[in-house]
Amino acid sequence: MNNLVIREIEPPDNAALAQIIRSALAEFKANKPGTVYFDESTDHLHELFATGKGIYYVAVADGNVVGGAGIYHTDGLENDTVELVKMYLSPGARGKGIAKMLMKQCLEAAGNAGYKKVYIETMPELIVAIPMYEQFGFTYLVGPMGNSGHNGCTIWMIKFL
């Protein structure tokens, strides 16, 4: 991965990101109802984040979108809490520290926006991501927060900033 750039999402990124997200979920056998796999907003991430409720970062290597991650103030969350959302990388971008760079960018953005807590919903199928969340200080919750609509997620975590 040469010439890696992390920047905010742009309208032309929508199709590449939707493909990366859905391919990753299928790869890990997490393409099930109640996940972002079936969420229409996955095809329109730029428009979702243009609402002002969050920010989405895109990792671009050699001119190609290779993944992304964002923070979003999900409906039903406390005012001081934001959700880390849609953190996915293409297979060739994994294991190179890009996810950690995206995580740091998202946590910094959350703090700069005045949030005190960052919430994550995930699934056991996405086992490779969970140790990274733990490394960043996320701890487990007994149930979900907010109204994401993603009832296919069975692991909930929180980080205090």
- Cα–Cα distance list, 49 to 10, 30, 31, 156 (Å): 10, 24, 23, 22
What are the C-alpha distances in Å from 44 to residues 21, 50, 93, 144?
12, 10, 22, 24
- pLDDT of 150 reads 73
Q: What is the mean pLDDT of residues 83-105?
A: 95
| Averaged pLDDT, 29-49 | 87
Q: How many domains, the chain? A: 1
**How would residue 37 be classed by pLDDT, with cut points 50, 70 and 90?**
confident
pLDDT in tens, 102-111: 999 999 999 9
Kindly report the CATH number assigned to the domain that includes residue 28.
3.40.630.30
SS3 of 54, please? strand
Q: For residue 99, give its domain range.
A: 5-160
**pLDDT confidence tier of residue 79, bands split at 50, 70 and 90:** very high
Other C-beta atoms lying within 10 Å of the C-beta of residue 1: 14
Report the range of poorest mean pLDDT among 12-26, 105-119, 142-156: 142-156
- Give yes or no for a contact between 58 and 20, defined as CB atoms under 8 angstroms apart: no
Residue 1 clears pLDDT 70, i.e. is over it = no
Mean pLDDT of the region 7-31: 94
Average pLDDT, the chain: 93
Q: Place 45 in a pLDDT band, splitting at 50, 70 and 90.
A: very high
Tokens of residue 117, six digits? 């807590």
pLDDT tier for residue 130 given thresholds of 50, 70 and 90: very high
